[in-house]
Structure 1
Amino acid sequence: MNKVLITFLAGINMTSIAFGQYDANMNLWINNLDQAKLIPERVYKLDLSNQSLDTIPEIIESFKNLRLLKLSDNNISSIDGRLDNLTKLEYVELSGNRIKELNFNEFRGSRFTLDELWVRNNRLREVDSSLNILSNLSILNLGSNQIKVFPANLDLSRLVNLQLDDNQFTSLPPSIAQAVKLKILNLYGNHLSEFVMPNSFRNLKMLNIGDNPVDTIDFGGQRLKLEMLILDWIPVEAFNLAILPPTIKVLSIEHCGLKTINGLLHLKNLEELSIIQNEVQSIPYEIQNLKKLRKFWIGGNPVTDTANIPASVEVIK
C-alpha cells in the first residue's frame, strides 16, 4: 500500500457507522479514486476535476452515499448511465467538458435530491424537457454553451438561480418567464435585441443582461425586488435611465458610452455604482442625495473633479 493511502487511512475511523449516526467523513472531499475504493460506503464528496478523464469511472456507481460530485475540466462527452443508481446526489459539476447532448434522465436516481447542477463551458446546443424530471433543482448553470432556445414545455418553476451567460439566445424564452421563484438570472453575452421584464419576476434580485445588442429595455410598472443590475457593454445613452427600478443597490454600467450620471440620481437605495470606461466628465452635486452610496468606480472616464462626491463614498479609479 502506498504512503499516500496509508496517510489517508490513518485519519479515518474505519469502524462501522450506525444508521443515522454522524460520520466525520461527510466533511471530507476525496479526490483520489484509489482512496475512494477502500471506503465506498463512506464517500460523500468526490472531486475528480482536472484528471484527464475521457469517461465517468464506472466505480462511481458503487458510491451509494455520494452527495457532492465534481467532474469539471476533463474530456467527458457523455454520462453513460454512470449516475443512474445514485439516489443522494445534491450537487453535480460537469463544467469544462465536451458534452454536446444531455438527457437529464441520466440523473433520475437523484431526481428528488439534486439541488445544484453545473454544465457550463461544454458544447450543448439545446436543452430538452427531460430537465423536468429534476423536481428539486434550484440552481442550474448552463453558461458558455451554444444554446439558442428552450422548449416551451420546460418547467423552471423551482429554479432560484439560472446562469445562461455566453449562449446564443436572441430573445427571452417563455419558459424562463414562468420561473416565478427566480432570484438570480444571468443572460450576459447572448444575442438579445430586447429585454422586457416578465410580470412573474417579482422575486428577482440579481439580473445581468450585459453585452447584448439590446435596443429595448422595459421593467414594466410592477413592484420589483431587484437589487443588482449589470448593463455592461450596452449603449445606455439610447435609453431613459429613469426606467431603472429604485430598488437597485448595486449597478454596473461599464463600457456603455455613458456621458452623464444624471439619469441615475433617482436610485436612492444605490450602495455601489460602477461606470468604468465611459465618457463621464463631471460628477453633479446631486450625487450627494444618494445617501446610501458607499463605493463608486470611475476609472477610464475623463473626470477631473471629484469634489462633489461625499467623503463617505470610496472612490475607485
Structure 2
Amino acid sequence: MNGDDMILECLNKQQESLNMSHRGLVVLPPGVSRLVTLKKLFLNNNRLILPPDEILDLEKLEELILDRNQLTMLPCNIGSLKHLTYLGVNHNPLSVLPEAIGELRQLRELWAVGCSLVSIPSSINKLGRLEKLGLHNNNITHLPSQIGGLSSLQWLNLADNKVEDLPEDVNHLESLVFMNLDKNCFAHIPSALTDMANLQILSVRFNNIRSLEDYLILGFSRLIKLDLRENPLTDRPPHWKGLDFILLGNV
C-alpha cells in the first residue's frame, strides 16, 4: 500500500494512528494534513529533508516520531501542536531546536539524540510537564539557566556531549531522579547537584574528575549510586569507608 492509499484508508476509517515509517519518503504526501483525527504519527526511518509542515494541521496529535530522517530543521510553528505529549527527532542533523518547542506545554517526553545539537533553546523552561529528556550524543557545550524550570523532569540524559559545568539553577529540578553526564568534559562535580532532594542516580563516567571534596559527599548522601568510574579519580580515600554508593575505578 502506497502513502496515498494509507492516508485514504486512515481518512475513511477515521483512524487515530498512522505508521508511515521505513517507506523512503522524501516529502510527506499532502493528504497528511487532512488527517484531523490523528493522535499518533510515525514517520521514522525515511528520507525527509524539508520540515514536514503538513503535520501542523493535526491539532489532536499526541505522539510524533521523526527519528532517522535527514531533517535540518523542524517546522517553525511546531508549537501549534498543543496536545503533543511525545516528540522524537533522534538522529536528524538538526544542530538546533526551534524556540517554538517551548510552546508544547503538554509534552512529557522529548528525545533529540544524535542531532548534532550545539545548544538547548532557553524556551525549554516552559515545558513544565516534561518528565523525560534525552539529549545524549550531541555537541552541547552548556545548558541554559532556564533548564531549572523543568519542575516535572525525572530523567535526564546528557551523555556524550561537551558540557564542562552546570548552571546553579539545575538544583531547581526538584523531581529529577536520574541524571547521566557520562562522556563530557567535567573536571569537577558541580556543587549544585548536591541540593537535589530526589536525585537517586548520578552517572559521571568518562570525564576528567580527579577529586571529590568531602562537603560534596555529604550532599550526595541521599544517592543510591554515584558512578565516577573511568575518571582520573581512582583511589578510594580511607575515610570513605561505608560509602559503597560511590563507584570508582575502571571496568
TM-score range, shorter chain: 0.7 to 0.9
Q: Percent identity at matched positions?
A: 22
**Map of 2:25 onto structure 1:** none
What is the CA–CA distance in structure 1 between the aligned matches of 2:238 and 2:149, rounded to whole Å? Answer: 30
What is the CA–CA distance in structure 2 between the aligned matches of 1:244 and 1:51, rounded to whole Å? Answer: 53
The alignment partner of 1:167 has SS state of coil
1:170 partnered with 2:164: yes
The alignment partner of 1:217 has SS state of coil
Specify whether residues 244 and 210 from structure 1 end up closer, same or farther in structure 2 by C-alpha distance, changes over 3 A only: farther
Bigger helix fraction: 2
Specify whether residues 236 and 62 from structure 1 end up closer, same or farther in structure 2 by C-alpha distance, changes over 3 A only: same
- TM-score of the two chains, using structure 1 as the length reference: 0.65
Match of 2:234 among 231, 234, 237: 237
**Map of 1:204 onto structure 2:** 199
**Map of 1:160 onto structure 2:** 154
Correspondence list, 1:1-317, <5 A: 5=5, 9=9, 14=12, 25=15, 28=17, 30-31=19-20, 37=32, 40-108=35-103, 110-111=104-105, 113-158=106-151, 159-196=153-190, 198-218=193-213, 219-222=216-219, 224-240=221-237, 243=240, 248=245, 256-257=249-250, 276=251
Are 1:172 and 1:195, in contact at CA under 8 Å, matched by a contact in 2? no
Q: For each residue in 1:126-184, what CA deviation from the matched residue of structure 2 results, as whole angstroms up to 9, or x when unmatched?
A: 22322122222222111111111123344344121111111111123323233222111
The alignment partner of 1:185 has SS state of strand
- Across the aligned residues of Structure 1 and Structure 2, the Cα RMSD in angstroms comes to 3.3
Deviation for aligned residue 1:125:
1.5
What is the CA–CA distance in structure 1 between the aligned matches of 2:119 and 2:195, rounded to whole Å? Answer: 24
Stretches of structure 1 that go unaligned for 5 or more consecutive residues are 17-24, 258-275, 277-317
Are 1:73 and 1:95, in contact at CA under 8 Å, matched by a contact in 2? yes
Read off the aligned partner of 1:118 and give its amino acid letter.
Answer: W
Q: For each residue in 1:201-251, what CA deviation from the matched residue of structure 2 results, as whole angstroms up to 9, or x when unmatched?
A: 221122110000111224432474422443331244334286488584xx8
Deviation for aligned residue 1:57:
1.8
Are 1:100 and 1:124, in contact at CA under 8 Å, matched by a contact in 2? yes
Are 1:70 and 1:93, in contact at CA under 8 Å, matched by a contact in 2? yes
Read off the aligned partner of 1:161 and give its amino acid letter.
Answer: W
Read off the aligned partner of 2:109 and give its amino acid letter.
Answer: E
Deviation for aligned residue 1:53:
0.6
Read off the aligned partner of 2:56 and give its amino acid letter.
Answer: E
Stretches of structure 2 that go unaligned for 5 or more consecutive residues are 22-27
Larger C-alpha radius of gyration, 1 or 2? 1
What is the CA–CA distance in structure 2 between the aligned matches of 1:150 and 1:67, rounded to whole Å? Answer: 27
What is the CA–CA distance in structure 1 between the aligned matches of 2:242 and 2:18, rounded to whole Å? Answer: 43
Deviation for aligned residue 1:188:
0.4
What is the CA–CA distance in structure 2 between the aligned matches of 1:167 and 1:3, rounded to whole Å? Answer: 37
Name which structure has the greater RCO, CA cutoff 8 Å, separation 6+.
2
Matched residue count: 241
Q: Deviating runs (4+, > 6 A) in structure 1?
A: none
Specify whether residues 135 and 30 from structure 1 end up closer, same or farther in structure 2 by C-alpha distance, changes over 3 A only: same
Deviation for aligned residue 1:190:
0.2
What is the CA–CA distance in structure 1 between the aligned matches of 2:3 and 2:208, rounded to whole Å? Answer: 57
Read off the aligned partner of 2:52 and give its amino acid letter.
Answer: P
What is the CA–CA distance in structure 1 between the aligned matches of 2:203 and 2:50, rounded to whole Å? Answer: 34
